[in-house]
Structure 1
Amino acid sequence: MRTSGVAVVTGANRGIGREVAARLAARGVTTVLAVRDEARGQEAARGMTGPVVVRRLDVADPASVGALASWLAAEHGGVDVLVNNAAVHYDTWQSAADADLRVVEEALAVNVVGAWRMAVALAPLLRPGGRLVNVSSGAGSFGETGSAGGAPAYSVSKAALDMLTVKLAADLRRRRVLVNAVCPGWVATDMGGAGGRPVADGAASILFAVDVPDDGPSGGFFRDGRRIPW
């Protein structure tokens, strides 16, 4: 279990991201809540125990990502964990055949390119033994989705994030940084809606990838510590 170092969690002001950040901070990990709205980030940080820092971040804005990377380098000299959790548009209201492509473009910009941008910016800062976790979804799994429709922008973006995970894992292996994608399951959050499992269970699924040992998997797709199909 990781109990020290520096972790960055994007989209950490609510839901699964907040729970992951809170758990890391409680362990003693210096945890950066990277959020678009600093006021909401400060509100989310209240009640957390351990070292917590709130920083503004818009993963779709190169300047914002660059500013965070520069601050991390200056203040901490490196990063041990990056959790790419920020995501938008669980678009269950539309289908692929008549999708609003503006929604699709926004989903790709945040869910894929935003995560990619964070990986590129922070890769030079990731210390040996670091972990990069992409929060994905079974909605983007060919093996789980089958012929189901719905949420096309979200599903396509998460499928692309899975491929990005494989590519990053190959590139960062030589630096002893492990990269995995994790599905937290259907969780009762603002995005997931009511009826899902507790946020704590989804966070635990993500923390599995944060805590994998140095000889653990990289380039895989997991839920609750078990591999799931791409």
Structure 2
Amino acid sequence: MSDKKTALVTGANKGLGYEIAAGLGAQGYRVLVGARDDARGEAAVKTLLAAGADAITVPLDVTSDQSVSEAAELIERQVGRLDVLVNNAGVAGETGPGWVQDPTTLDLDVVRAVVDTNVYGVIRVTNAMLPILRRSASPRIVNISSSVGSLTWQSDPNIDVGPIMAAYSPTKSFLNAVTVHYARQFTGTNILINAACPGLVATDFTGFHGRPPQQAAATPIRLAMLPDNGPTGSFFNDSGPIPW
């Protein structure tokens, strides 16, 4: 078993996920790069290793029960420990001009696909990894959410929350609710679970609009490294707590 604290980041071969992995690697964590595409995962690991991080690839499709199960088995077999899980993998779904997803014309297949990755995928991965996480002295779970999932902000006409994304945004509200219920279930344990809003991040996910992913990774990394008396069941961006 590795004697290093170990972190699994889903969707970590590029963008925000990669920078979260890189940041944790720079803090001395062994990082497990969850990636659907083996070649891209290996390429990311090669770059991390060159930067001095300890990293390995974990083939992982969060929408597949078999893939997630095999990933948990691989981690158990090759690493033997898991201290941090960052549920980063996410999709936006097809949008119209201006990133709009009109609720009155939504394709339900698009909605199902977005929910499968952004919510079911988080539940699928979290529950598969829990047996390993529970053995950690200080397990941490970070769910990558978004301010567009804040019902308080979405319903406030004085706050600009961007275009209507009626498939994507509700999945983040759903994820936030799931995060709260996990936190309730973990009451009395050493597991801390929180949601993080990285803001608008300049990746292929956003057409490279937004801030650098290195900056956006700061809050998820901080939540992954919380002390034992840190918060749980909360929602944060760089400025602090976000209203649900």
Q: Structure 1 length as normaliser, TM-score?
A: 0.94
The alignment status of 1:66 with 2:75, answered yes or no, reads no
Is the CA contact (8 Å cut-off) linking 2:62 and 2:117 kept in structure 1?
yes
Alignment of 1:128-147 (within 5 A): 128-146=137-155
Partner of 2:181: 167
Is the CA contact (8 Å cut-off) linking 2:33 and 2:56 kept in structure 1?
yes
Q: 1:7 to 1:160 in 2, by over 3 A?
A: same
Q: Could you say what secondary structure the match of 1:58 adopts?
A: coil
Per-residue deviation, residues 68-87 of structure 1 (Å, max 9, x unmatched): 11111222222100000000
Q: Could you say what secondary structure the match of 1:173 adopts?
A: coil
Is the CA contact (8 Å cut-off) linking 2:198 and 2:220 kept in structure 1?
yes
Q: 1:225 to 1:38 in 2, by over 3 A?
A: farther
Which letter does structure 2 place at the counterpart of 1:109? D
The alignment status of 1:109 with 2:89, answered yes or no, reads no
The alignment status of 1:179 with 2:193, answered yes or no, reads yes
4+ aligned runs moved over 3 Å, structure 1: none
Is the CA contact (8 Å cut-off) linking 2:92 and 2:167 kept in structure 1?
yes
Alignment of 1:57-96 (within 5 A): 57-89=60-92, 91=95, 92-96=99-103
Q: Could you say what secondary structure the match of 1:175 adopts?
A: coil
> Where in structure 1 are there 5+ consecutive unaligned residues?
none
Give the superposition deviation at 1:175. 2.6
Aligned residue pairs, count: 228
Is the CA contact (8 Å cut-off) linking 2:58 and 2:74 kept in structure 1?
no
Partner of 1:98: 105
- Mapped to 1, the partners of 2:71 and 2:201 lie a distance apart of 29
Q: Percent identity?
A: 39
- Mapped to 2, the partners of 1:225 and 1:176 lie a distance apart of 25
Which letter does structure 2 place at the counterpart of 1:166? V
- Mapped to 2, the partners of 1:187 and 1:180 lie a distance apart of 19
Per-residue deviation, residues 9-54 of structure 1 (Å, max 9, x unmatched): 0000111000011111222211100100010111222321221001
Which letter does structure 1 place at the counterpart of 2:128? A
Is the CA contact (8 Å cut-off) linking 1:25 and 1:50 kept in structure 2?
yes
The alignment status of 1:17 with 2:24, answered yes or no, reads no
Larger Rg: 2
Which letter does structure 1 place at the counterpart of 2:145? S
Q: Structure 2 length as normaliser, TM-score?
A: 0.89
Per-residue deviation, residues 91-114 of structure 1 (Å, max 9, x unmatched): 424211111111100000000000
Give the superposition deviation at 1:201. 1.3
